[in-house]
Chain A
Amino acid sequence: MSVSSRNPAKDQVAIAAAATTGFTATNTDRSQLSYAVQACVAALRAAGLTAADVDGIIGSSAPTAPELQGALGIPVVTYFANPPIPFVNQLSTAVAAVHSGLCNVALVYHASYRLPWNTGSAWKDPFRRGGLAGGASAGIPESVFGSVGYTAWASRYLYEFGGTKEDFGLVAINDRSNAAGNPGAAMREPLTMEGYLAARMIRDPLCMLDMDVAVDGGDAFVVTTTERARDMPLKPVLINAVTLGMTGKPSETQTPSLREHGQQVVVESLKARGDFWIDDCDVYFPYDGFTIITLNWFENAGYCGPGEAGDFLRQHWDHATNRVLIDGRVPVNPHGGSLSEGASQGSGHFREAVHQLQGLAGERQVAGAQRAIVTAGGFFFNAQGATLRTDG
């Protein structure tokens, strides 16, 4: 694999503040826009900024940047964009925009919202019925897109490596144990392996608890030059490297194998462009939209070999807290991840990473955390990641 190591933006752009609304796993009586603006106002206030300080708006597809700008009364922007989820699309766009001078202070947001594409329950709210999205072919049981695609490759994982459902279950239990310490998490009741194995099967071999929980809520970030962030109230979190990764057959059916998809590209790119990797990581955020994705991230990041993630989690399990602590030190998705905090398409992972590096993670705080790795997204067309570090 050949990836470039060129990274002129390294450490030049920083996250000055991050904020969240918290997440709810029911159809709340609020609009998606309301979550975005709530999180944005909180992030701007945390950074000591007002609407007039913002000159860039970057978010996921809904609400659009014009809707958000209008809602917040931001007077002037010189750049805006609405790239698709997951969240590194937004973050990398912000890094590029700030570093190139398209804008100086980017307000970056993602509002999670329960819609028909991620939960059938969304149909109960008439205002949510318009938000239908799906695979390239919708409503066809034989189509292997999205959720079905991850389930299909989970079948391959079990076939190739002889793993067990318990391997998947450890990912779910780790997230749930972590979510207990996060007041903003949607799912905080303790989870046992027995409870996991008894969960309703949705598509064999994945059950309800292998899939992230559709939520209402939002996260927002202030992204600016590192130089400017140093003048703001909170400790800047420097974006050391950020990348997307995709291979030549980026689809659920044609992806060559579990050892040849976007995740491997992300890992090689971050190692080439960034200054540290897992040996120097204080807190790790592997994406967990489906448990199978997380197992693959551990293997592809280099924590263990192919098919060994289940054993790796067992070896590094902290029985006192019923969660993973790599080498007794490094927690994994300490906010509860997409499986238990809520399906934020990666924004929750980044918000928690920022708060950990700023020392704002409350009872979840990793003492002295200075470096975080976020490996977001899945296999086929949305693997992505970033290395984040504190200043100095």
Chain B
Amino acid sequence: MAVDISDEDLLARYPGYAIDHDTRARYRGWLEHVMLFDRCATCATWHEPPGPICPTCWSTDIEPTPIAGTGTIHLAITLRQGPPVEGVDYSTPYPVVVVELDEQPDLRMSGTVVGADNSEIVIGRRVHLDWALRRGAPFPVFRLDDQHGADQPGASS
């Protein structure tokens, strides 16, 4: 399984990401297309970002737990410029959204949206998780629910 790779190798697969002892499970999950959020095993609350203790009940029994990957766009912008990254061409404004996940109110994650016109990527739209590749490493993206485009995710493989 991909999750067997060392911390050193995990950092090398995801350069620039804030990976440490609290967040490494998430990125190991990415390698096998599993999106993990921390959930407290004691009080069942989800929390973000991943951390060493549950902010609700202070239990340290935290379980990185798969999310369904469904939610609603809460914030939506497009970037006309940004960090130079393989597969991202800002000459077409690059959409970035923050999605409110169905697991819990105010539990959110950011990402891009693939397979849709920017004019359709608006607050309130339902989305679901998909995966793309960057520098050969999987990362999460969103697709609009009522779009069935057969195109590949925006990042190159």
Contacts and interface: CB of A to CB of B under 8 A. Distances in A.
Interface of A: 136-144, 148, 151-156, 159, 200-205, 248-249, 251-254, 256
What 10 A-B pairs are tightest by C-beta distance, nearest first? A152-B75, A139-B83, A136-B18, A139-B16, A144-B110, A159-B123, A204-B78, A141-B82, A137-B18, A253-B108
Contacts of A140: 16-17, 83, 85
Given A144-B98, A202-B81, A248-B55, A254 B48 contact: yes
A164 B99 CA distance: 23
Nearest to A157: B75
Given A140-B16, A148-B96, 13 more contacts: A141-B79, A141-B82, A142-B139, A143-B110, A148-B77, A151-B77, A155-B76, A155-B77, A156-B74, A202-B81, A204-B77, A253-B108, A253-B109
B66 to A, nearest CB: 19
A203 B49 contact: no
A205 B76 CA distance: 9
Interface residues of B, number: 34
Contact of B98 (A137, A154, A253): A253
A254 B93 CA distance: 24
A226 to B, nearest CB: 40
Contacts, number: 84
Given A203-B80, A248-B55, A144 B93 contact: no
A78 B96 CA distance: 48
16 contacts: A137-B18, A140-B83, A141-B94, A151-B77, A155-B77, A155-B123, A156-B123, A200-B80, A201-B80, A203-B77, A203-B79, A203-B80, A249-B106, A253-B108, A253-B110, A254-B48
Given A155-B77, A156-B74, A254-B108, A142 B96 contact: yes
Interface in B87-107: 88, 93-94, 96, 98, 106-107
B123 A142 contact: no
A205 B77 contact: yes
B39 to A, nearest CB: 15
Nearest to B16: A139
Contacts of A201: 80
Contacts of A136: 18, 49
B18 to A, nearest CB: 4
B115 interface: no
A205 B79 CA distance: 9
Contacts of B77: 148, 151-152, 154-155, 203-205
Nearest to B140: A142
Contacts of A202: 80-81
Most buried by B among A143, A155, A159, A251: A155
Contacts of A252: 98
A152 B96 contact: yes
